[in-house]
Amino acid sequence: MRYIWARLWTILISKTFLIMLLIVNLLGSIYGYIWYGDQLAEAKLIFLIFIPDSPTATLFFSIAIIGWLLKKHWRLFEALALVTLVKYGVWAVVMNLMVLNELGSLGFAGWMLVVSHGLMAVQGLLYMPMYDFKSVHIIITAIWTLHDVVIDYVFNQMPWYHMLNQYMTGIGYFTFWLSIVCLIIAIFAMKKRFSVAPNFV
């Protein structure tokens, strides 16, 4: 198993693969911001930065990848990327499965959201050996992440899932604890640097 992971890691940190991953994430961010267009058009200016959750997560990761390609650690973006990729990746999968339960079907676009957001979470976890953030970066990330929960569920700026409106209180509670779990994952990543990573950057 260690051999398989080592071979996989060689691929994951290759320059070619990182460039491909960067392109995919940047395109995903662009598509995501377009997808949020109607909601952004109706939102107050002070809320805009907190509304497009998933595209901002992939943007954070894109910035982290650029750092790696330059042989640098942009630690705050690494911390933000890990926490938000896992949080919003898992969140979107759960929301779409709730939509499936509510409506009885998702359609092609819905299943594409499930797959793409699931892969968001996976990539955030796969690159845990690369992250080199410190406690201060986790603290800033925690403030950002928990503040985003407040913006979404106190000021009603959560992503539009009208068919799930009746469950918003429970969804907000779930999102808060999902945020806490993701922050715990970040703490674990900080404390346990994996042996395959240290010499890359």
Express each pLDDT in 24-78 by its tens digit. 999 999 999 999 999 999 999 999 999 999 999 999 999 999 999 999 999 999 9
Most distant CA atoms of the chain, gap in Å: 52
Helix 75-103 and helix 135-153: axis angle, to 10°?
30
The model scores a pTM over 0.85: yes
**Which bin fits 71, alpha (ψ -120 to 50), beta or left (φ > 0)?**
left
Q: Which of 158 and 36 is assigned the larger pLDDT?
A: 36
Residue linked to tokens 């970066």: 137
Report percent pLDDT > 90 for the chain: 83
pLDDT of residue 131: 96
**pLDDT at res. 46:** 93
- Structure token digits, residue 22: 């960067």
pLDDT at residue 174, rounded to an integer:
97
Number of H helices, E strands in the chain: 8, 0
